[in-house]
Chains A and B, each alone.
Chain A
């Protein structure tokens, strides 16, 4: 094995593993910028992965599968929006509920549709490079959207000080609903990538914490799209290391594989401790808006 091919492998693996994190993290950024914490990213990804598999399975068209995956994520997000915006439920509780619901629902549907508790049948796929390229471009599009368009300005205003936005004639609820649903669609696409691109089938609990890593990437990226891109790449790199490192260790050196498996999570913790002091979330992130509160 020469160093060049290892290097190329490493870079490709990094991009492949970063892509779902970046999609979900962009979703997190959009939602939290508008003031709604979306801890349900994980569940929305899982539903996206499942929706994409089902869509592809029945239509034999993975691009329709991509749409159904996005739709599944969007629907779960609409539920989160309804609970946390309309009914002012605790956003953490609502998000956790969505994660559990997604796990239960996909397991059940897997049994119902495919008579299996493990893997769905194989489906057609979309080349991973299409997703990866989008994941590299989309952050810049979102950046432009947030910082250079009137709608982006309104989103940021709503996340910082919803009452001020309200008094300026902006419909706070509408903006938040849209952002949360877009967030779910992005997470759903990230999930679809897992099942109809990285793999060619749905497997039980296949998001496996990617949504939570994406949540960390939102914070590490300081609630900005380009920051999320950087953080997503960083975490992708940490994942890639666990596959590459064991192969290039000098002979005779023994490190337990568990160490490599825990590397991404270890790095996450270290990075977050370093980043948290400096990162300032949108001022009203996580707080339901009630126009009748006196302040």
Chain B
């Protein structure tokens, strides 16, 4: 059996080391992938998973270490070489060109036709053929800019299949997918596996890892710390290896006495970017010391709800009261400041940290004070006080365990989970009375999730009113006191967490259970 195994090893990474300046992102990493398996790569944010796969795909050159394919050493100096060796990669951030069509995106770099003429119809028919063969439904003539995230991902997969890749790397493919889309993706994984393809799958969702993979390699702080057989392990063990200690999956919910109503929303109505109704007759209230969870499938008005509450989108109808004061038409700045005595207004953890949460080219320290830059102690006599800013940043970096702990590093170079911690640290330290928290743990590792959940609960303990919007049903169930289900822009029902079951929520989210006029509480 031992020698059998030896032969079935397709890719072997030996002693891969990759440094970025003083930081060692990969430290003598060994990884072996067998032919035809689904191999999961897990680890905390910043553990070096993406870096390792970028090395295998030729985007980065390792400082040292070797790569073997079928037992022979290969040097992969650029993606072109990787592609010719049958390696394909779907990146954490999709590599698609929005103004080009699906077919153009797929054939780019290996276009049918000759130098003088790009054979468009052949490109379209080839794409059609592959997409039918694998059940990946997309319109080859559609512009990529018009696609949903799920379809974009299918285009990425088609890109690999078009190049007849036999080793397919997926970097966090499910982070932005709905549960249904994830199911579809796993169906595709399994059928690719049947065809003899080999898959490397990176994810923070251990449930998925347990569901789909054959073997699991765990990375921690740049090192590969263990290889596990799926049958012989469980989520808790993987998490322990990743973080180096036990991880609590379900946070301790303390009962906090509820106070007065902080936020009240009446009959809210708003349209989306295309001018179509996104929210209708939305009414609810959130008390101090309470978390109201918003459950729903993506695209049912969550984004618009968060934007209207924070003043980034205007309400067409209805009213928003913060501590009894009508703030419906206040700007985001006014909502942050809204000072009733010492109490500040609204804090917002946006769903897309790159678009709304951070200025990627600013250092971590500046990102930590955005929105408070004009206030004491950060600004004095119209000048920024860099000492005060640095001091504040150092405190927050320590308090929220932001890694690497360098306040002068541009936010761009932080891993996703650490970027998220920066946003959370900033918003939570505003000491607001009401928080809108959207997708707080998207792309965040188990340790980070535990930490962020703990922070959210401690805000609640401090008497904050919190609106938690998440596509992760587990997250909603674990944190909320009450759960409102959003479907088609309407709140179909508000239930107490203790009374809610996953089944009922699922049916409500799918619009299968009846719409019952929301009661005010």
Contact = CB atoms under 8 A, between A and B. Distances in A.
A179 interface: no
Interface string B10-24: 000000000010000
Q: Of residues A149, A161, A164, A293, which shows the largest number of chain B Cβ atoms within 10 Å of its Cβ?
A: A164
Interface string B247-290: 00000000000000000000000000000000000000000000
Contacts of A293: 412
A201 interface: no
Interface stretch (A43-51, A106-114, A151-159): A151-159
A160 interface: yes
A161 B104 CA distance: 13
Contacts of A153: 100, 104, 108, 111, 118
Interface stretch (B88-96, B209-217, B456-464, B491-499): B88-96
A164 B90 CA distance: 11
B159 A168 contact: yes
A167 B56 CA distance: 12
Contact of A161 (B83, B96, B116, B360): B96
Interface extent on B, as a size class?
20 to 34
B415 to A, nearest CB: 9
B106 to A, nearest CB: 9
Contacts of B20: 292
Nearest to B82: A169
A161 B152 CA distance: 15
A149 B111 CA distance: 9
Contacts of B80: 169-171
Contacts of B95: 161, 163-164, 167-168
Contact of A295 (B57, B99, B354): B354
Interface residues of A, number: 26
B98 interface: yes
A256 interface: no
Contact of A167 (B59, B98, B115): B59
B79 A169 contact: yes
B117 interface: yes
A108 B214 CA distance: 72
B60 interface: yes
B514 interface: no
A241 interface: no
15 contacts: A149-B117, A153-B104, A153-B111, A153-B118, A154-B108, A157-B100, A164-B96, A164-B108, A167-B95, A169-B83, A169-B109, A171-B78, A171-B80, A291-B60, A293-B412
Interface of A: 148-154, 156-157, 160-161, 163-171, 283, 291-295
Given A156-B97, A283-B98, A291-B60, 7 more contacts: A149-B118, A153-B104, A157-B100, A160-B98, A164-B108, A170-B80, A295-B93
